[in-house]
Amino acid sequence: MTKLLITGGAGFIGSHVVRLLVNRYSEYQIVNLDALTYAGNLENLSDIEGSQNYRFIKGDITDAAFISGLFAKERFDGVIHLAAESHVDRSINNPLVFAKTNILGTINLLEGFRALWEDNWEGKRFYHISTDEVYGTLGETGLFREDTPYDPNSPYSASKASSDHFVRAYGETYGLPYVISNCSNNYGPNQFPEKLIPLFLNNIIEEKSLPVYGDGNYTRDWLYVEDHAAAIDLVLHKGKTGETYNIGGFNEWKNIDLVKSLCRVMDCKLGRPKGASEKLITFVKDRPGHDLRYAIDASKINNELGWQPSVTFKEGLEKTVDWYLAHQEWLDHVTSGAYLEYYNNHYHNNQPT
Ligand code: NAD
Ligand code: DAU
């Protein structure tokens, strides 16, 4: 592959993937296609925007005519598809936009790629980035494996599951050379402060309440975002066509324990008295259809491609906190206007239980 399209590269994970590949593969032409929704932010890429092997194109993957024209013009031989609506709570309030972006947008890209290469797929690759949420929820035990049946519970995860199925179907039907990875919860620099860690970090800075859904006994498996980007690089280059790889942090935390840990780190970094941030914890109405537990069995990518996380959770959390504290301006930019409207609407009804 020499000409690579990365969709959603101005978002959280996408920006780390773009940076890694632009810095590592000077011989590639890397094109970042992003609609710059509320979650896309070119500030995330300011350090690499002048690189000779990098270009940004603003565009919407739901626009079929635009996407087919773009593929015809640029003739990408590889795609890493990250663009998506990604926040579960937003999907509960507005499922349709998730269906449009995550399902229709994916089909438009598959069609653009198929139109170019269906006569000869050699050396081509379509890499679809997905989530562990497609597997639904675990009970107290067990892990998600690549052969765990799909059982999505939120409009977000249903739309991602559907997009995964379309990618597979294009593989079976048209021979499209795809690879899919399903990852657990990411955290790290540049994550939009609607997701648990950056939201709570920002609220602690602002001494606002920390709205823990339900009893806080929900479990997620956390992975530092640069470790995910490294896994994506490996799967892109070494993953087997037609295969799925689960990626996870071997790092399960109950929300309430994670939040308390974050509070302790923040008290220390902000020079506040021990226990100050914990006092901000407020238990609020639960998320509808809240999945109890996610945890990944990442032994396939570990055994076959030699990937494993390089950052411990303690190190990763500290790096994340340091980054946000050093980038107050970034936070100020993304937490104005539409963010405040979303925040007030969503948390208005979430009064303490
Ligand atoms: P994000 O919300 O931070 O970024 C999504 C990006 O997609 C943004 O830059 C946005 O502008 C762009 N986008 C949205 N709609 C678009 C459209 N119609 N056309 C073009 N661009 C559009 O998301 P993220 O957290 O970085 O997630 C990236 C991908 O990884 C998603 O596919 C998500 O499902 C998957 N994923 C995320 C996590 C996680 O913990 N965040 C875990 C596993 C998988
Ligand atoms: O597992 C991978 C998925 O992880 C990705 O596919 C999604 O794009 C990503 O958003 C994430 O989904 P979650 O729903 O797990 O992440 P979120 O940060 O929204 O929530 C993490 C946990 O924290 C979850 O149990 C809900 C809880 N939570 C979240 C928010 C925003 C709260 O208790 N209070 C909150 O205000």
Condensed to tens digits (0 to 9), the pLDDT of residues 137-156 reads: 999 999 999 999 999 999 99
Binding site membership of 211 for ligand 2 (Cβ less than 6 Å): yes
Average confidence (pLDDT) over 100-107: 98
On whether residue 234 sits in a domain, the answer given is yes
CA angle (350, 100, 338) in 5-degree steps: 45
d(CA 272, ligand 1 centre) in Å: 34
Residue pair 116/72 in contact (Cβ under 8 Å)? The answer is yes
Average confidence (pLDDT) over 224-236: 98
Report residue 68's pLDDT band, with 50, 70 and 90 as the boundaries: very high
On whether residue 49 sits in a domain, the answer given is yes
d(CA 277, ligand 2 centre) in Å: 20
Average confidence (pLDDT) over 242-246: 98
Closest Cα to residue 199, out of 46, 77, 88, 62? 88
Binding site membership of 192 for ligand 1 (Cβ less than 6 Å): yes
Residue nearest to atom 4 of ligand 1 (CA): 11
Owning domain of residue 44: 3-187+222-247
List b or e across 9-31, with b for residues whose CB sees 16 or more CB atoms inside 10 angstroms: bbbbbbbbbbbbbbeebeebbbb
On whether residue 293 sits in a domain, the answer given is no
Minimum mean pLDDT range among 59-73, 80-94, 186-200, 329-343: 329-343
DSSP state for residue 11 in the 8-state scheme: S
- Amino acid identity for residue 57 in this structure: I
On whether residue 318 sits in a domain, the answer given is no
Binding site membership of 255 for ligand 2 (Cβ less than 6 Å): yes
The H-or-E segment that residue 317 falls in is helix 313-326
Is residue 1 over pLDDT 80? no
- Per-residue confidence (pLDDT) for residue 337, from 0 to 100: 86
Closest Cα to residue 171, out of 239, 246, 241, 72? 241
- Per-residue confidence (pLDDT) for residue 104, from 0 to 100: 98
Binding site membership of 176 for ligand 1 (Cβ less than 6 Å): no
- Amino acid identity for residue 67 in this structure: I
d(CA 123, ligand 2 centre) in Å: 37
d(CA 294, ligand 2 centre) in Å: 11
Our count of domains for the chain comes to: 1
- Per-residue confidence (pLDDT) for residue 15, from 0 to 100: 98
- Beta carbons within 10 angstroms of residue 310's beta carbon: 11
On whether residue 267 sits in a domain, the answer given is no
pLDDT tens-digit series, residues 75-97: 999 999 999 999 999 999 999 99
149 three-state secondary structure: coil
Packed helices 12-24 and 225-238: angle between N→C axes, nearest 10 degrees: 60
Tell me if the pTM is above 0.85: yes
Residue nearest to atom 10 of ligand 1 (CA): 40
Average pLDDT of the chain? Answer: 97
Strands annotated E in the chain: 3-7, 29-34, 54-58, 78-81, 125-131, 178-183, 185-187, 210-213, 219-224, 244-247, 252-254, 281-284
Instruction: State phi, psi for 252 to the nearest 5 degrees.
Output: -85, 135
C-alpha 98/C-alpha 119 separation (Å) is 32
Work out the percent of the chain whose per-residue pLDDT is above 70: 99
Is residue 331 over pLDDT 80? yes
- Per-residue confidence (pLDDT) for residue 101, from 0 to 100: 98
Residue nearest to atom 22 of ligand 2 (CA): 196
Report residue 348's pLDDT band, with 50, 70 and 90 as the boundaries: confident
Q: Which two tokens stand for residue 83?
A: 């663009």
Report residue 352's pLDDT band, with 50, 70 and 90 as the boundaries: confident
Is the C-alpha dihedral spanning 202, 289, 163, 233 positive or negative? positive
C-alpha 224/C-alpha 239 separation (Å) is 21
On whether residue 207 sits in a domain, the answer given is no
Report residue 353's pLDDT band, with 50, 70 and 90 as the boundaries: confident
Cβ neighbours of residue 286 closer than 8 Å, sequence gap 6 or more: 213, 214
C-alpha 246/C-alpha 253 separation (Å) is 18
**Which numbered atom of ligand 1 lies nearest the CA of 187?**
40
Packed helices 105-117 and 64-74: angle between N→C axes, nearest 10 degrees: 30
Binding site membership of 204 for ligand 1 (Cβ less than 6 Å): no
CATH number for the domain harbouring residue 60: 3.40.50.720
On whether residue 266 sits in a domain, the answer given is no
C-alpha 141/C-alpha 324 separation (Å) is 34
C-alpha 192/C-alpha 202 separation (Å) is 10
Q: Which two tokens stand for residue 174?
A: 């048209």
Q: Which residues are catalytic?
A: 132-133, 156
On whether residue 173 sits in a domain, the answer given is yes
Is residue 244 over pLDDT 80? yes
Cβ neighbours of residue 134 closer than 8 Å, sequence gap 6 or more: 150, 152, 157, 160, 161, 164, 182
